[in-house]
Structure 1
Amino acid sequence: MERRIKIFDTTLRDGEQTPGVCLDMHEKLEIARSLVKLNVDIIEAGFPIASPGDFKGVSQIAECIKGPVIAGLSRANKKDIDAVVEALKKAERPRVHTFIATSDIHMEYKLKMSRDQVLAVTEESVRYAKQFIEDIEFSAEDASRSDWGFLCQVYAKAIAAGATVINVPDTVGYTTPDEYGALIRHLREHVPGIDKVDISVHCHNDLGLAVANSLAAVQAGATQVECTINGLGERAGNAALEELIMAFYTRRDYYNVTTNIDTKQIYRASTQVSALTGVDVQINKAIVGDNAFAHESGIHQHGVMNNSLTYEIISPEVIGMSRNSIVLGKHSGRHAFEDRLKQLDYNLDSETVNILFAKFKDLADRKKVVFDQDIVALIIDKPSVHPAWYRLVSYQVVSGGSANAATASVRLETSNGITEEASCGDGPVDAVFKAIEQAVGFAVGLKDYQLKAITAGEDALGESTVWIEYNGAVYNGRGLSTDVIEASARAYVNAINKRLTACGYPEVRKAAAE
């Protein structure tokens, strides 16, 4: 009989800790809704005590998202736990996820606590959280580098105090599959009451072993796996949800486990998370990379044409990716467009479809064919929920070659009318960015800039992502166009609008003027 493995998604917590990633509340809600479609069991919505924004994000997800368990992270202290309890008060199925480090190096240099003190705090924090919420997950941070005997004592205290899940994190990606599997078996044999709780695993990818370690833990008896979309996370990231799920699915004869995940939602969720975070998926990434189902070798191509199983162990349709993505052109009508949206599993209201169809027709006038990836990009690039303090009306660039500076002029629409400015730069994009800065009236700290093509071809839709910084906070913006300079300008303006909304407008301009 197959065992069912629970999927704990931490894209919105650990995934958001990816360097350069900064999701606002609305983007978090969009991702949370995709996780519901994926049918994950638990969504870790954030770390409420970390910031007012994190608290608000967790609260909104707890209120709006129904179905999965909604978890909030806390350190093992009353203040953190209180913040989680408050943030989750409207959750249908709340969970407190509390943790304390248990490795000797963490206890000595970070916590400055003895083993006895850690045991006492473990019991106290779990017992305290249990007063408010029934479902308590306890994590022993850096478990994979902890003394196994002490680790058993810690988990025994947590279970006795009321923990319903014990998590065994490989916090720094240090362990190996055989070692990790042995640890899970050791805990199952030596921790009293462990048979009455879920055993969860949380693996980081510092040695490229996060998925392998997670799979080994499941074989050893773990019942919950913690992961992120596209493997996002601190440093080298976390175990990738899509890789774990498709390993279970493809080799169910070997692992003999099942999950509740709807595999046809995987590609859609991956694409959305990549767009909203600005973190590209490497082209040779397993399952969701652009080359995952590409065949360059003539021998491979011949085999796939005769029988796809010769070189494909997974059908792209299983993860929601269309094998033939050329679908529409400028002569396609609204009915064909709506039909394609439904095939891509997007059920949108009529007003949103109207806006998307207008954008589609505009794009189709610039391109010979429109691909599925283009349509998905348009959907993700729907009108911003942020106030559009500035809107790009037009721009013009004169670039005199490598020996001369570029000159750009931009026209922006504001609530006070049209503003127009010009500037020079080291290239056309730099010149446009500087002209936009002059038009808005304050300096913008550009932290990073990224440009990519959505599909192949000289008329490909370009996607630009920029990150700007203000008072230590990072804001990202995204822009789409078949013209890469226009896409870049739109992304820059989008990031500025996010910054103004978050910091308070017109307070930012007033402070800049002073």
Structure 2
Amino acid sequence: SGIHQDGMLKERSTYEIMRPEEVGVPKTDLVLGKHSGRHAFGDTLAKMGITISGDALNSAFVRFKELADRKVEITDADLEAIVAEELGTTVARDFALEDLEVAGGTVGVPRARVVLTREGEKLEATAEGDGMIDAACRAIKSATGVDASLIGFNVSAVTGGVDALGDVIIQVEAGSDKVSGRGVSTDVVEASARAFLSAVNKVERMRARSEVRQAEVGP
């Protein structure tokens, strides 16, 4: 449980009858799962040599809890993928994916509904597409107002098993801007939507920086 892990982090002797090292076994490693708390999560990242704090850490912990509801055991590779995604997307004015619903099949037209948040504001949009991933990307474009086209797509499994975490990396083009985005999830459609949204956020940041530079230069 979360309490057990917190206790072990503070004082292992409370929960271990003897030290594993004393009988030739490597030290006890905490297995993260749905009941793991923020302390155990942060401690595990620190032991992996991952430095993350503030909003990025909070967002990564939320993503970890979401994944833990779907997977029995979270691996180091899962954690690395989650952190990599958050470090690339967590900025105050970024769009965040709050909800994604998709429907489609061999007969029905693929359709997606997304709910995004940005600085407390909720944005919702629905779209149809050639497939569920295309529909999700179109819905995100509609909700954000960013006209970005998908020009590259790659998906790989971070870990094995039926509950494997999918890692999606995409490239998009928006006007003269070309950027990449990354998303992870046990559901490839959600991972793709997160990757597309990550790219959209990068486009927005680039345009915001360009506007600031133009304002500094003046007419």
TM-score, structure 2 length as denominator? 0.69
AA of the residue aligned to 1:422 = T
Deviation at 1:368, TM superposition (A): 0.5
Amino acid at match of 1:396: E
Q: In the aligned structure 2, how far is the partner of 1:440 from the partner of 1:353?
A: 25
Q: Say which of 81, 96, 99 aligns to 1:394.
A: 99
Deviation at 1:484, TM superposition (A): 1.7
Give the CA deviation at 1:400. 2.6
What amino acid sits opposite 1:456 in the alignment? Answer: G
From 178, 182, 197, the counterpart of 1:474: 178
> Which structure is larger by alpha-carbon Rg, 1 or 2?
1
2:153 is equivalent to residue 452 of structure 1? no
Q: Show structure 2 runs of 5+ residues with no match.
A: 1-28, 212-219
Change (3 A) 1:326 1:406: farther
Alignment of 1:151-300 (within 5 A): none
Summarize the Cα distance change of 1:378–1:471 in structure 2 as closer, same or farther, 3 Å threshold. same
Q: Partner of 1:500 in structure 2?
A: 204
Q: 1:463 and 2:164 equivalent?
A: no
Distance 1:481 1:328 in 2: 17
Whether the aligned pair in 1 keeps the contact of 2:94 and 2:118 (CA below 8 Å) is yes
Segments of 5+ residues of structure 1 without an aligned counterpart are 1-324, 508-514
Shift of 1:503: 2.1
Q: 1:406·1:427 contact (CA, 8 Å) conserved in 2?
A: yes
Q: CA deviation at 1:441?
A: 2.7
Match of 2:18 in 1: none
Residues 357-414 of structure 1: per-residue CA shift (max 9 Å, x gap): 443333222101111101111222235354534222212111032x442111222224
1:429 partner amino acid: I
Distance 1:472 1:429, change over 3 A: same
Structure 1 residues 502 and 354 mapped into 2: Cα distance closer, same or farther (>3 Å)? closer
Cα distance change of structure 1 residues 357 and 349 upon mapping to structure 2, 3 Å threshold: same
How far, CA to CA, are the matches of 2:201 and 2:41 in structure 1?
31
- The share of aligned pairs that are identical, in percent, is 37
Q: Deviations over 1:439-469 (max 9, x none)?
A: 2234212111222221111112222222111
d(CA) in 2 for partners of 1:341 and 1:435? 34
Q: Which residue among 80, 92, 103 is the counterpart of 1:376?
A: 80
From the superposition, tell whether residues 355 and 501 of structure 1 become closer, same or farther in structure 2 (CA, over 3 Å).
Answer: closer
Aligned-partner residue type, residue 400 of structure 1: G
Deviation sequence 1:78-98 (CA, Å, 0-9, x none): xxxxxxxxxxxxxxxxxxxxx
Contact kept in structure 2, 1:477 and 1:494, CA below 8 Å: yes
Matching of residues 50-89 of structure 1 within 5 Å: none
AA at the equivalent of 1:417: E
Inter-CA distance 387–476: structure 2 relative to 1 (3 Å threshold):
farther
User: What SS does the aligned partner of 2:116 have?
Assistant: strand
Of structures 1 and 2, the one with the larger relative CO (CA 8 A, separation 6+) is: 2
Measure the CA separation in 2 of the matches of 1:494 and 1:382.
Answer: 9
- 1:370 aligns to what SS in structure 2? coil
What are the equivalent positions in structure 2 for 1:111-130 lying under 5 Å apart?
A: none
Q: 1:461 & 1:480 partners in 2: Cα distance?
A: 7
Distance 1:356 1:391 in 2: 13
Aligned positions, number: 182
